[in-house]
Chain A
Amino acid sequence: MISKTWETLLVVKLLWIIPAIPMLAAGVLALTPRGYRRMAASLAIGSMVLAFLFSCLAFYATMIPLPYSEAWRQSYNVPWFDIGHETVRVGWVLDPLSALMLAMVTFVGTCIFVFSTGYMAEDENFTRFFGFLTLFAGAMLGLIISNSLLLLFICWELVGLASYLLIGFWFHKPSAAAAAKKAFMTTRIGDLGLLIGMVWLYSETGTLLFYDGGFGCLETKALIGLVTPAISGGTLAVTGIALLIFCGAIGKSGQFPLHVWLPDAMEGPTPVSALIHAATMVAAGVFLVGRMLPLMGADMILFSGSSPTLYIVAMVGSFTALFAALIAVAQTDIKRILAYSTVSQLGYMMMAIGVGGYPAAIFHLLTHAFFKALLFLGSGSVIHGCHHEQDIRRMGGIAGSMKITFATYAVGMMALSGVPFFFSGFWSKEAILHAALTWTPSMLPFIFGLCGAFLTAFYMTRMMGYVFFGNYRGDSCHAPHESPATMTVPLVILAVFAVLLGFAGTSFWPWCQSYLTAQRVRFGWEEFLHAWPLTGGSIAMVAAGIGLGWKLYISRPVGGADAPDILETMHPKIYNCLKNKFFVDEFYAATWVRWCGAFASVSDWMERFVWGGMMRGAAFFTACLALLNSETDERVVNGSFDGGCKVLKASSGKLSLFQNGKAQRYLCVIGAAFALLLLALEMGVKL
């Protein structure tokens, strides 16, 4: 029973206002001169607060249709353009997924915008920074509410653009410019898959709307249409489409093998890393797979209950989760550690969707957004306090001088590590591991996930040890200092949510999961007690990780700034391999990048020498012909003509002697002629 009160219908119809507000702000900011700093910041923050309020309204609207007897989903579509008889429509959809995402993005966004006013206070391009941020926020919100793969793709490209502009915000640094380009190109490789998948989907179903009163591409009719040819032995269109769309998610969410751009993206200002490359945009890939879940799992029918697409999603996700966690162990840049941690956590989310834990994945997405934004902002505060130092080897012992930052950072660290019961990360990770354990096709995701949990706890403790404990190893004339209130207040708010949010999805009161699947939430301890062995095991892993980290990096403080890492002294080869990120970047540089350059050079060479050569050859041939012609002209045509002329001239010259106007000569000639005539008559010539 779908409740259609006028309020909810109105909310759905006007949902477009939420992304439109920041977009409008971006438009105004694009035309604002760089001097109007205060106005720029107020406009940006104001637009986000307003968007947040509207998002709350939308969130409230999704709560109205109690009881959750049926999936509550309302969509509103408008025609965009016609191609002949086909009308391309776009639209927006309000359901639990989009409502939760809207609330999260606007809330975290507001915190990060406020933080930015402090962090970017000294930057000369402050206004432009907020212009780009609002552009990003508008596009991201548009992506969330899209009810059409086309509109989603458009917003998807726009967030990519905003990401490019913001990573390269300090473009005078060559590394930042290179990182921006790398991020854009790498995600675009994934987007190519998404584009082709979209085109294929459109050709098969004739629509790109997700929900359209029974005719959308995620609704039963279209899905049956997609699966039917495969049953009769045709092409596996549905698997192909789903995997191509997943390519887009791999690129955007930094999954292996397209993860290389995300750590480099840390060249951007830290608030950007927090908002775009931790909390929101990189989660868009997970969101996309979650949004397209009916399509992703549609090939289940063909393979007796286990979908090859979701199998691949699970495997890619779990491998990335472990792979990135391993790399994070040996990094020394505070933001890069967090970046690899983000890649790893996104892997967890992908894995969760793959193993059938879609609500767990979205729940983890939300908790992760809060605690990872907290950690990034915290690292921003640390970087700010340590005078733009990012190398954790040159920090140390700043817990005392930066108390608020330390406390909130510790909360974030424990949430990320999954410290039991009081931190949100624990509950969301628990839900994911539980889903992985009950997945029958393979145990690998569960094992990878468990190992990843250990590693996460370990590298986060290592980082804490390096940054906050021991002695300060940086430049001694500049003591670290606490950041201003514009930066610490958002930290505190995010820290509170990093704790509280966990209780929205515990195993004894799984409100978030129930809300997402439109079920009535039930309170009960059975689930919690039933999963106790698993919970115990994962707590043991976390404890082992933290314990080992404590033993290696905190109980025995790190030596000097240049002292080798303790793991390096123990296993130099392994450490080196991890430190160099398994040499993936080097591998790509030696293969794809080089091949592309080589192809370009070969084409350029062809252009110059083959086509250009042909052109020159033709020109040469023409010139030779022309020369030949001109010689022929000169010698044969002109020669004979001139010769003819000469003969004519000479003969006429001689003839003209007879007409030189002298009477004597005429008389002489006449006389001679007369004599000749007489002679001839005399000889008997008959006239």
Chain B
Amino acid sequence: MVVEVMDMILWTLYFSFLGAVLVLLLPGRAAKWAALSVAVATLAAAFAGASEYMSVSAQAPWVTLAKSPWIPSLGISWHLAADGISITLVLLTALASVAGVLFSWNVAHRPKEFFALYLTLIGGVYGVFFSVDLFLFMVFYEIAIIPKYFLIAVWGSTRREYGAMKLALYSFIGSALSLAGILAAYAVAGGHTFDLLELASYPFPPQFQYWAFPLVFVGFAILAGMWPFHTWAPTGHVAAPTAASMLLAGVVMKLGAYGCLRVAMPLFPIGLEEWSLFFAGLGVVGIIYGALVALAQTDFKFVIGYSSVSHMGFVILGLMTLNAVGLQGAVMQMFSHGVIAGLLFAVVGRMVYDRTHTRELSELGPMQLYRSMPFVTVVFVLAGLASMGLPGFSGFVAELMIVVGAWRGIPWMAVMAGLGILLAAAYTLRVMQLAFFGYGDNSSENSHSDMSKIDAISWPEKTGAVLLLAASLCVGLRPSLLLDLIAPAMNTPLVQVILKGAGS
């Protein structure tokens, strides 16, 4: 059903790609302003789209945005649609992209190319969230990955070629697995359509689903940082420039989780039921394992990188609960982690590293950053509290919902997830004290006086930090802001097939 009123949301996609071209045409000095205007415009479009969706979601939780044939001979069409889940992630992407531009304000090396690639990446991400045609989905998926490689390889830091290559290889292996599974499904279903809605309603034989589901699921889950396919994430985050690591943690990892939820799970509900316990277990292992590894890191950014692995474990667990509470919790967690991890990476990469030129905790400690950077300290403390799931921030509601959802299916996994929340407090408090407060009052007078020469925190940084913190707080205090978007999506056929498959 085509609802005419939903026409704002697609502008996010168009603006991004047009913006990428525009940035290339403008002189280099204007690049960041152009990118910021584009990002703000997409944010406005996303908000407008979300409010439009709210007004129609009760009657039509699934809104078709565009549908026309593209390559009819293969059954490929330009089919875009949105529901509450995709709109939530579009909102997240829009927020993260505005913040990312703000935190890249100091990019001086080839800014035109930087922002053009950046906007292309964003556009690819929007495309994935809207695609219903699986071929189109994979096209946008690859569009999102390729700029990533260049952003890291050209503008990155520590072992950037290694990190970029590792990330690109993992991503391509993942998408190759998914594509193989999708092509198999296409062939089994008769080979005349790539349309997700049609494929999802095709009764694939159980024997086929048993092997096709893990293929497609793992393919996407690699990008979501699922243990044990997570190792690209921390190295990639560390190597990436600030904006790229923000997008990587904030948005690109969500692409993987979205692929799991949107493609793998509804296509193969029988396979899903068979494998859900196994993948829930991997999610739980990821939660605990990521937190433990974060506890042992000596590099500030690696701590945040591994905390992402831990938090994305919650998303996997939430998806595998196969009930409405757990699924909504998983989507909430995607949003929450996107905002919080983005902020944490911004603090580490832009605010701290660009000024101190070190990320070693043992070197940061004696600098006593709380004296020279009070604003950054407060932001990091708040972001850290949000990351450890303190009530009032978005992470609490999300993790609580996932634990409730998990308890209904597999109680001991809920307990293990709770243990993960406990460990999150441990590594966050540890890194907070080591990085910002250090010890010893007088031993460090020299480094202290060095630190007084650092640049002040600029307005784009402040704006970006406040934007992300406010997003996390708003959702934490009023979860209905997002849940009212997500809840209608539970009635769409693609989600219903997951919930029904689990017999609930």
Residues of A at under 8 Å CB distance from B? 80-84, 86, 153-154, 157-158, 161, 171-172, 174, 177, 181, 184-185, 188-189, 192, 195-196, 199-200, 202-203, 596-597, 599-604, 607, 611-612, 615
**B474 smallest CB distance to A (angstroms):** 13
**Central interface residue in B400, B419, B421, by most chain A CB within 10 Å:** B400
Verify if B460 is at the interface (C-beta below 8 Å from A).
no
Verify if B324 is at the interface (C-beta below 8 Å from A).
yes
**Central interface residue in A189, A600, A602, by most chain B CB within 10 Å:** A600
Q: Is the CB of B415 within 8 A of A81?
A: no
User: What 10 A-B pairs come out closest when comparing CB atoms?
Assistant: A154-B391, A604-B296, A603-B292, A600-B296, A600-B295, A81-B480, A81-B479, A600-B292, A84-B324, A611-B231
Measured in the bound complex, the distance between the Cα atoms of B440 and A181 in whole Å is: 17
Measured in the bound complex, the distance between the Cα atoms of B390 and A200 in whole Å is: 20
Measured in the bound complex, the distance between the Cα atoms of B389 and A153 in whole Å is: 12
Chain B interface size, under 10 / 10 to 19 / 20 to 34 / 35 or more: 35 or more
Q: What mask results when residues 420 to 433 of chain B are scored 1 for a CB within 8 Å of chain A, else 0?
A: 01100110011001
Tell me which residues across on chain A come within 8 A of B422, comparing CB atoms: 185, 188-189, 192
Q: Is the CB of B483 within 8 A of A154?
A: no
Q: What mask results when residues 463 to 480 of chain B are scored 1 for a CB within 8 Å of chain A, else 0?
A: 000000000000000111
* A/B interface sample: 8 pairs, CB < 8 A: A82-B483, A86-B325, A157-B396, A200-B407, A603-B293, A607-B293, A611-B230, A612-B231
- Write the chain A residue with the least CB distance to B423: A596
Verify if B385 is at the interface (C-beta below 8 Å from A).
yes
Given A154-B391, A600-B295, A611-B228, residue A203 in contact with residue B166 (CB < 8 A) = no
Tell me which residues across on chain A come within 8 A of B490, comparing CB atoms: 84
User: Contacting B439 at CB < 8 Å: which of A177, A199, A200?
Assistant: A177
Q: Is the CB of A184 within 8 A of B293?
A: no
Tell me which residues across on chain A come within 8 A of B418, comparing CB atoms: 192, 195-196
**B361 smallest CB distance to A (angstroms):** 14
User: Contacting B231 at CB < 8 Å: which of A80, A181, A615?
Assistant: A615
Tell me which residues across on chain B come within 8 A of A596, comparing CB atoms: 295, 426
Measured in the bound complex, the distance between the Cα atoms of B385 and A199 in whole Å is: 22
Q: Is the CB of B392 within 8 A of A158?
A: yes
Tell me which residues across on chain B come within 8 A of A195, comparing CB atoms: 400, 403, 418, 421
Query: At the interface, is chain B mostly helix, strand, loop or mixed?
Result: helix
Tell me which residues across on chain A come within 8 A of B480, comparing CB atoms: 80-82
Tell me which residues across on chain B come within 8 A of A161, comparing CB atoms: 385, 390
Q: Is the CB of A203 within 8 A of B401?
A: no
- Write the chain A residue with the least CB distance to B438: A172
Q: Is the CB of A81 within 8 A of B478?
A: yes
**A27 smallest CB distance to B (angstroms):** 12
Q: Is the CB of A185 within 8 A of B426?
A: yes
Verify if B404 is at the interface (C-beta below 8 Å from A).
yes
Q: Is the CB of A181 within 8 A of B433?
A: yes
Q: Is the CB of A196 within 8 A of B415?
A: yes
Verify if B328 is at the interface (C-beta below 8 Å from A).
yes
Verify if B484 is at the interface (C-beta below 8 Å from A).
yes
Tell me which residues across on chain A come within 8 A of B396, comparing CB atoms: 154, 157
Tell me which residues across on chain B come within 8 A of A602, comparing CB atoms: 292
Verify if B51 is at the interface (C-beta below 8 Å from A).
no
Q: Is the CB of B479 within 8 A of A80?
A: yes
Measured in the bound complex, the distance between the Cα atoms of B230 and A154 in whole Å is: 32
Q: Is the CB of A192 within 8 A of B483?
A: no
Q: Is the CB of A157 within 8 A of B231?
A: no
Q: Is the CB of A203 within 8 A of B408?
A: yes
Q: A84-B487, A181-B433, A185-B422 are in contact. List 5 more A-B contacts (CB 8 A).
A: A158-B392, A196-B418, A597-B296, A599-B292, A611-B230
Verify if B297 is at the interface (C-beta below 8 Å from A).
yes
Measured in the bound complex, the distance between the Cα atoms of B228 and A195 in whole Å is: 28
Tell me which residues across on chain A come within 8 A of B411, comparing CB atoms: 200
Q: Which residues of chain B from 377 to 423 have a CB within 8 Å of any chain A CB?
A: 385, 390-392, 396-397, 400-401, 403-404, 407-408, 411, 414-415, 418-419, 421-422
- Write the chain B residue with the least CB distance to A622: B169
**A184 smallest CB distance to B (angstroms):** 6
Verify if B289 is at the interface (C-beta below 8 Å from A).
yes
Measured in the bound complex, the distance between the Cα atoms of B396 and A154 in whole Å is: 9
Given A603-B293, A604-B297, A615-B166, residue A185 in contact with residue B425 (CB < 8 A) = yes
Verify if B441 is at the interface (C-beta below 8 Å from A).
yes
- Write the chain A residue with the least CB distance to B388: A188
**B417 smallest CB distance to A (angstroms):** 10
User: Contacting A603 at CB < 8 Å: which of B289, B401, B415?
Assistant: B289
User: Contacting A199 at CB < 8 Å: which of B397, B414, B437?
Assistant: B414
**Central interface residue in A601, A611, A612, by most chain B CB within 10 Å:** A611
**A204 smallest CB distance to B (angstroms):** 10
